[in-house]
Structure 1
Amino acid sequence: MTQQPVATPQAVATSDKLDAAVLKVAGVVVLGAIMSILDATVVSVALPTFQNEFDASYARVAWTMTAYTLALATVIPLSGWAADRFGTKRLYMVALALFTIGSGLCATADTIGQLITYRVVQGLGGGMLMPIGMTIMTRAAGPHRIGRLMAVLGIPMLLGPIGGPILGGWLIDTASWHWIFLINLPIGVIALIYAQMALPKDNPEPSESFDFLGMLMLSPGLALFLYGVSSLPEAGTFGDPEVWGPMLVGAALVVAFVLYSFRPRHPLLDLRLFANRNLTVASLTLFVFIIAFMGAGLLFPSYFLQVRGESTLAAGLLMAPQGIGAMITMPIAGTLADRVPVGRTVPFALGLIVLGFFTFTQLDANTPYLLLCGSLFVMGLGMGGTMMPIMTSALKTLHAEEIARGSTLVNILQQIGGSVGAAVMSVILTNELNGSRVIPGVTDPSGEPVTEAGLAIANQQRPELTQQMPVEPSLIERGLDFAAHAFANTFWVAFALVALTFIPAAFLPRRREPSHLLDGTPGDELKTPVVIH
């Protein structure tokens, strides 16, 4: 029998094509990425449903998104250490199992508190799928083919914003909200079997120590701070201990983490990397952009559902133009990122986002759908030309031994930005809606006073509950106008944040910089995970 030659890093570097073995591994990673990314976007159309099902405020149900992204941020830095210690295949299968179990638990939730808790379990699994998957793929293919790997992983990133809201809307309309989680069970089982068959055997290596103390400061600190922020609408004032107490403790833990993180040799987040100007500028640009764009992204389907009275499926379909726009520009932006400095392309893409966002600052209860969908399409064009080039710029000038730490830092900032955006935008919207006038003598089934905006939103979603109330149609019309303006005012905040992104974006590199992705000793580059979630 003739022994087949073993591919070495040098041999791998001579081939640019993704061979069958690499594509088989890529299939496992793409399947896991589809589960994780789709689940984040599927839930976006379900928030108003959660409000009705669990009788909770918008700020409260938004924690189903915030808790998920915070869980992602918690496990991303843990992934590299655990992969070296336990092996990538073993850990990837554990992540798949945890995500699948978390999905099943979410479908059993009876209260909003249970759902938020189970979303944390789901996020702990989902947060490891992308970084471990990218590590597996990078080791299989070599860093010189990272661009092609990104094109493969771009499939779920493009399908998520399009398919997620549509799938979620269809499942909620035709079955129930439980099925947006139950659908992950058969996919998870298939992915586990596929991973067992396709992924190479583990070869665990001694790894550096993990900064557990840093994790115990950063993760609870962020969670407590955001919990305090999200408690503001119900408390009504910053003076309430439920607001300032968690915010103060959370902020103290985050500050303590920042001061501490310069001491360990291998900190949870290597803030020393911010000495690299490109990384600093790109990270700041990305962080501000994510707060605005991801936070406002939760509000688009809610406007269609609550103000316009659309079904969840229709709301998902109305969100599709944004994903289509991103699908057009993302491959173009990826190609340009290797040839044109991002400082020359990203401001143009941000301009498209600002242009599309402006429409939503002018919302009323009857804004034409053609204008809204066209604006979402323009925003999608801008989004596709923004995120990938910024992340490429952040990592491009780091040396090979810094890439893993740099990608971890950038992606945690991305998840934190998404969590902050979801919490802040939901709090602003809830406060705006709470400013609506209370209707004298009218209460909901639980005996609570009813506002004009609350009545109008309830009438759009469950008209059978409002038909028996002694109210005039003019009150509902006035309430819809108020609700639409509440959304518009919230979008003004997001608009201002996107406009603010132009400031750090002005310092992005405007001339070509040398890339160090392939620096280092042979084999080092194969350990380099470039994480994008």
Structure 2
Amino acid sequence: MSASTGIKDEAAGRRLPPKLVTLMITVALGSIMMQMDATMTNIAYNTLLKEFDTSLLTIQWITTGYLLAMAAVMALSGWGMERFGARTMWVTCISLFLLGSMLCGAAWDAQSLIVFRVIQGLGGGMVLPLGMAVLAQEAGPSRLGRVMSVLGIPSALGPVLGPVVGGVIVDDWNWRWIFFINVPVCIAAIVLAWRTMPTRKSPTAGRLDVLGLLLLSPACAVLVFGLTQASKYGSFANSHCVIPLAIGCALLAAFSVHALRTENPILDLRLLKVRSFMSSSAVLFFASVALFGVVGVLPLYFQQVRGHSALEAGLLLAPQGVGMAASLLAVGKFTDRTSPRLLVISGLALTAIGALVCTQLGADTNVVLLGAALLVSGGGIGLVMVPAMAGAIRDVPGSVIPRASAANRIIMQIGSSFGAAVLILVAQTRMDHLIETKQITPDSLAGAYGTTFWWVIGFVVVSVLLALLLPARKPSQQQQTAGEASAIPSL
């Protein structure tokens, strides 16, 4: 086996080597900041409105700009890792995020804060795909489950913990500490990365596909923007949504044509010919719909129907985070020993059970019952994410894992944006009907949010059908390396 694979994989049940564990901690430390920062700022909206004396439309760009910047640079992470090495790219991205955090904490008006959030997003957008790629290359197929479970924790807990941590900071400290708190974490992540991240580069990196980048990055950013506009205006037919979505789809189509004609595109569409990658990515798309859509809907229910504060709403979502964390930590070993299909379908079943309880939302639904439903649903999502994330890259040749990881993150990002847009749109449409018919009551308003969970169940059903395409076999004990891997099948 080639030394370029990093840590060798001798047996699935063997204790993880200390070097790999340290690398996992490094990746998790950097990843949790990016995921929490995407939602933590939302809790400070009211404070920022008063601080900067501006409109909510302007303040919303503090989050929108961050998400768009992240989406725009994800595609660059694969080529960057191949060309410059994981350590150089990781330290550069964390440093850029650190700079953006310090500037955000020192912002003097809303416009400067938006610009500095974009800088943060440019640094943060590549962190998750880089982390996924380097862990996959260092661990090997039979350890993918355990390392992906650690990487999945920031992805799953960030949207849940972000509002809670943000609320505590805003209430007890000052909104600027939402950004300053990143500084020591970033410094620790940089120091650890300098000691643990591999430095090797890929001899096949080639020149940057500039045209592909200019087509794909704006396509991702505009699609995410269009979906956020659908959530905001409550319709996919609104021009604010239709125009960016049309532009995004056109750019994506143009990139597809370009990629199929280019020898070394920024994102190789031939990855879709790898069955495990295609099916796992599709499952992750719809699983992201269920996860991030619910995180967007339930806080509104708790605040508008139950009268809770934003911080209280975040705390009431905690059982979902607990369920995710527990399943993510437990499922890693099972992912390394059994077929991803069985685990994913089991997780989807748990997610459906939790969603079924939430379809019956009322103005006085028992909070303990909702907490139990969130606990079960969170456990299900964790059970889906780890084997699906591992399955997406376990059969991909080692030399293209960085680009496969970038593609995987793009799919999840768009899936989460799509989920939030669809579920909020369903709730808004139902509420508009109640207003028109003058039937709006606390119970009917709660029912409007409950209706969205039938859509979650629908997405789960689609995910189950796609999960049937996942490999039924156990992970291979043999690791393909960058030097030994066969090429992706040509189109």
TM norm structure 1: 0.76
1:465-487: per-residue Cα shift (whole Å, max 9, x none)? xxxxxxxxxx9xx5644543332
Pair 502,35 (structure 1): closer, same or farther in 2 beyond 3 Å: same
Tell me how far apart the structure 1 counterparts of residues 233 and 146 of structure 2 sit (CA, whole Å): 50
Partner of residue 393, structure 1? 391
Which residue is equivalent to 2:451? 489
**Runs of 5+ consecutive residues of structure 1 not aligned to the other structure:** 1-6, 439-451, 453-474, 526-533
Cα-to-partner distance string for 1:180-215 (whole Å, 9 max, x where unaligned): 33321332234334545x246856565322222222
Query: Does 2:250 align with 1:252?
Result: yes
SS at match of 2:266: coil
Partner AA of 1:515 in structure 2: S
Call closer, same or farther: CA 1:87–1:519 in 2, change over 3 Å: closer
- Asked if the contact 1:398–1:515 (Cα under 8 Å) also holds between the matched residues in 2, the reply is no
Alignment match, 2:374: 376
Question: Secondary structure of 1:213's partner?
Answer: helix
Aligned to 1:455: none
Matches within 5 A, 1:410-489: 410-433=408-431, 437=435, 480-481=442-443, 483-489=445-451
Q: Which residue number in structure 2 is paired with residue 515 of structure 1?
A: 476
Match of 1:266 among 260, 264, 267: 264
Match of 1:76 among 74, 77, 86: 74
Q: TM-score, normalised by structure 2?
A: 0.82
Q: CA deviation at 1:91?
A: 2.3
2:11 pairs with 1:13: no
3-state SS in 1 of match to 2:260: coil
Give the AA of the match of 1:260.
H
What secondary structure does 2:56 align onto?
Answer: coil
Query: Is this contact kept in 2: 1:349–1:382, CA < 8 A?
Result: yes
Query: Which residue of 2 is the match for residue 329 of structure 1?
Result: 327
Write the distance in 1 (CA, Å) between the matches of 2:106 and 2:431: 30
C-alpha displacement of 1:436: 6.2
For residues 121 and 506 of structure 1, do their structure 2 counterparts lie closer, same or farther at Cα, with a shift above 3 Å needed? same
- CA-to-aligned-CA distance 1:51-108 (integer Å, 9 cap, x gap): 8986537xx9776656544433433331232234334333222211221233344446
| Counterpart-to-counterpart distance in 2, 1:288 and 1:306 | 27
Secondary structure class of the residue paired with 1:310: coil
- 2: distance between equivalents of 1:482 and 1:151? 39
Larger C-alpha radius of gyration, 1 or 2?
A: 1
Deviation at 1:176, TM superposition (A): 4.7
Question: What letter matches 1:504 in structure 2?
Answer: L
Contact 1:398–1:516 at 8 Å: present in 2 too? no
Alignment correspondent of 1:472:
none
Relative to structure 1, is the Cα distance of residues 155 and 217 closer, same or farther in structure 2, using a 3 angstrom cutoff?
A: closer
Q: Aligned partners of 2:237, 2:16: CA distance in 1, in Å?
A: 59
Per the alignment, residue 314 of structure 1 pairs with 312
The structure 2 residue matched to 1:505, chosen from 453, 467, 473, is: 467
User: What residue identity is the alignment partner of 1:13?
Assistant: K
Alignment partners' CA distance in 2, 1:228 and 1:161: 21
Q: CA deviation at 1:353?
A: 0.7
TM-aligned CA distance change 1:347 to 1:194, over 3 Å: closer
Match for residue 443 of structure 1? none
Query: Which residue does the alignment assign to 1:277?
Result: 275
Letter matched to residue 458 of structure 2: A
- Per-residue CA deviations over 1:300-333 (Å, capped at 9, x if unaligned) read 2232233322233322321111121122222333
CA distance in 2, matches of 1:335, 1:118: 40
Q: 1:121 aligns with which of 94, 110, 119?
A: 119
Matched to 1:304, the amino acid is F
Q: Which residue does 1:530 correspond to in 2? A: none
Match of 2:216 among 215, 218, 230: 218
Q: Is the 8 A contact 1:173 1:313 kept in 2?
A: no
CA displacement at 1:285 relative to structure 2: 1.8
Contact 1:364 1:485 (C-alpha < 8 Å) held by counterparts: yes
| CA offsets 1:268-322 (integer angstroms, 9 cap, x no match) | 2222122222322222222122123212222222322333222333223211111
- AA matched with 1:223: A
Aligned pairs for 1:154-233 within 5 A: 156=154, 160=158, 163-196=161-194, 198-199=195-196, 202=199, 207-231=205-229
Deviation, structure 1 residue 233 = 7.2
**One-letter amino acid matched to 2:243:** G
Compute the displacement of 1:136 (Å): 5.0
Paired residues, number: 479
> 2: CA distance between counterparts of 1:113 and 1:363?
39
**Cα 1:427/1:218, change in 2 over 3 Å:** farther
Distance change >3 Å, CA 258–CA 11, structure 1 → 2? closer
Counterpart secondary structure, 1:262: helix
Over the aligned positions, Cα root-mean-square deviation in angstroms equals 3.9
Calculate percent identity across the aligned residue pairs. Answer: 36
Structure 2: gaps (5+ residues): 487-491
Which residue of structure 1 aligns with residue 489 of structure 2? none
- Of 260-269 and 73-82, more deviation after overlay is shown by 73-82
